[in-house]
Amino acid sequence: MAKTISFAEIGGPEVLTLTDAAIAAPAFGEVQVRNTAIGLNFIDIYKRRGLYPVPLPAILGEEAVGIIEAVGDGVCGYSPGDRVVYLAGGGAYAELSNTPGTSAVKLPDGVSSDIAAASFLKGLTVEMLVRQVFALQAGHTVLVHAAAGGVGTLLCQWADHIGARVIGVVGSVAKAALAKENGASEVIVRAETPDIAARVRELTQGRGVNVVYDSVGAATFQGSLDALAPRGHMVTFGNASGPVPPVAPLDLSRRGSLSLTRPTLFHYATPDGMPAMAETLFHHLENGALRPQISEIFLLDKAADAHRRLESGETTGAIILKP
């Protein structure tokens, strides 16, 4: 038996329930992992709220770190005792999980389990954003929403490492200092700036930015479009304030031949693509270019409290769970 956090109906954090579940032996192609640290991500909240529907009852959790306990038939390259981090697509809020061997990678000695749990999904997301969705280069100017959050801090760090100019958007003055520490050269505080796009224009001598990375969604979408330079790229990759409204392609043309994309990590971190993405991420973690910040650690049975904290909008960096 293993402790898990499951939910049988959509709703608030109160629907999360601690249960004891029997975990079967790993099936063909799977490894069984004794989890030591579990990442908390906004996609967990989207699923719990029903924005991303999943069959119920379900166990949440998109990523975790742990030690392999058993290896199913058809799995090559892994043995019991290996320390791995994996993308789960659900099911990681547990003491013990079965996951496809193709979704796991071995952790290098230079990356701790807690740091890996705090940065694997988020770091792969950033790799996708700055290297694949839009090839960010030195000299580009970028606008990063939620710049003090778990993804936002890593995104600012990676963009700064590349040599891009980073304009961060945060929710409070206290978060502004953190965004600057993580690579933002200028920071806009939402509560003090009613027209973010106008402020971006001031900071860029009227031109706008080359790319906007927006995980907030509905509340910031139109302003993000207004902040782009001609031929700029709008990357919307989250829905913290709700889904974005429909967009007419002709409107993108009228705004300056803009590009709009809505990427999802799991279309990039595929079995053939994830190993190289992970290698790049681990390299940046080990050389100090990326410096994940763990703001809080909750025990697994306090997952509902962790969700409340993440939804509050008051957190910075990453939150992890411990079984």
Q: Is the pLDDT of residue 313 over 90?
A: no
pLDDT band for 241, please (50, 70, 90 cuts). Answer: confident
Tell me the pLDDT tens digit for each residue of 152-176. 999 999 999 999 999 999 999 989 9
The Cα 280–Cα 270 span in angstroms is 15
Residue keyed to tokens 């971006």: 200
Query: Residue 229 to residues 204, 208, 211, 246: CA-CA distances in angstroms?
Result: 9, 4, 8, 21
Reading across the β-sheet that carries 186-189, which strands appear in turn?
Answer: 186-189, 165-170, 141-144, 209-214, 228-236, 259-261
Architecture in CATH of 138-261: 3-Layer(aba) Sandwich (3.40)
For residue 34, give the H/E element and its range. Answer: strand 30-39
With beta carbons less than 8 A apart as the criterion, state whether 149 and 170 touch: no
Buried b (16+ CB within 10 A) or exposed e, 215-235: bbbeebbebbbbbbbeebbbb
What does the pLDDT average to over 317-321?
95
Provide the mean pLDDT of the chain.
96
pTM of this structure: 0.94
Confirm if 152 and 179 have CB atoms less than 8 A apart. yes
Q: Which is it for strands 318-322 and 30-39: parallel, antiparallel or unpaired?
A: antiparallel
Q: How confident is the model at residue 239 (pLDDT cuts 50, 70, 90)?
A: confident
Helix count (H) and strand count (E) of the chain?
9, 16
pLDDT of the residue at 89: 87
What single-letter amino acid sits at 314?
E
Q: What CATH code would you report for 2-120+266-322?
A: 3.90.180.10
Q: Which helix (H) or strand (E) holds 32?
A: strand 30-39
Contact 5, 21 (CB under 8 A): no
Structure tokens at 31: 């490894």
Tens digits of residue pLDDT in 252-278: 999 999 999 999 999 999 999 999 999
pLDDT for the residue 96: 97
Helix (H) or strand (E) holding 313: none
Provide the residue ranges of all domains of the chain, joining segments of one domain with +: 2-120+266-322, 138-261
Place of tokens 């659900």: 90
Q: How confident is the model at residue 260, as a pLDDT?
A: 98
Quote the crossing angle between the two packed helices 42-49 and 303-311, to the nearest 10°.
Answer: 100
Q: Could you give the percent of the chain with pLDDT greater than 70?
A: 100
